[in-house]
Amino acid sequence: MNFAIVVCSSSSRNLKPVESIEVVGTMQVNNIALIAVSPKENRPIAVNYRSQVQKGMPARFIFECARKLEMKPLTSATAAILFHRFFRELNDTEYDPYMIACSCLYLAGKIKDDKVRKRDVINVAHNTINRGAPLLEPCDEYWSMWDSIVQAELFIARVLKFDMTIVHPHKYLLHFMKSLKDLFGAKKWHSMPVARAAASFLQDFHHSPKILDFKPAHTAVCCLALAFQVYGFQVPLMEESDEQSTQWYNVFCPELTRETHWEIMEHIMEVYDIESNIGEK
């Protein structure tokens, strides 16, 4: 993940920054301070997937493997969506989530024409679960994983009724960013970290199955709204208004209510609770 959201009481005045992170923005919600922090060095936490039992671990596994396989962000997002859709249909205790995750990665590569070799998926997955293990040479375990990925790929397709169509929020996010850049002015827009933060929030939200519950356009505009809130920027010509007034995001999504807007942002922030819990262990 590119960011973490630290939640603390607004009365906490003696917080000292951790040496490995830097504060990039804050926002206040209902007397709760939300502090966005970014690692000074991009060193992801090495998770022991064998010992971690939190629900978000397989999704985190997908993104870690996708990064090692140098997959495009849209491909890893597709793999996560396939994974969440699969386990929304079936009980997640009946199937190995990590094997399903491997098959989702391989399948997403085909769907987005970002193909990776099955051998690479097997070795990256094996090394990610078994930290420090050497490359898996052709052996019984190797061919067992190969067959499992092939069978799981077909099974995933059947469970999803061969419907691999995914409408990603990314295209809406790019459209909204272009409109906002015109509103702010190119120089001002490029000087702000809002676009990068919003893209990171969107990618990280794919760790949660909640992303399936909302319209892609709503998700995209809420990632932008969260970035604006965290960094304290205000959209030009849109003064802070009361609850009865039209909000700036309604220009893009007229049907998006204030309640749904806050609900989506809360779900995005919840994703970072898992990451903070991992860091404490």
Domain 57-160: top CATH class: mainly alpha
pLDDT at residue 212 in the model: 96
pLDDT at residue 28 in the model: 47
4-9 β-sheet, strand order: 4-9, 32-39, 21-29
Tens-digit pLDDT profile for residues 150-189: 999 999 999 999 999 999 999 999 999 999 999 899 999 9
CATH domain 169-265 topology: Cyclin A; domain 1 (1.10.472)
d(CA 218, CA 202): 11
Sign of the CA dihedral 117, 75, 163, 211? positive
Number of neighbouring beta carbons within 10 Å of residue 185: 11
pLDDT at residue 195 in the model: 94
Tens-digit pLDDT profile for residues 217-250: 999 999 999 999 999 888 876 655 555 566 888 8
Q: Same topology for domains 57-160 and 169-265, yes or no?
A: yes
Domain range list for the chain: 57-160, 169-265
Number of neighbouring beta carbons within 10 Å of residue 181: 16
| Nearest in space to 32 (alpha carbons), one of 4, 3, 7, 6 | 7
On whether the CB atoms of residues 5 and 207 are closer than 8 A, the answer is no
* pTM, rounded to two decimals: 0.81
SS3 77: helix
Percent residues over pLDDT 70 in the chain: 77
pLDDT at residue 192 in the model: 92
φ, ψ dihedrals at 25, nearest 5°: 175, 160
pLDDT at residue 115 in the model: 83
Residue 256 is encoded by which pair of tokens? Answer: 């998006």
Low-confidence ranges of the chain (pLDDT < 70): 1-45, 92, 237-246, 275-281
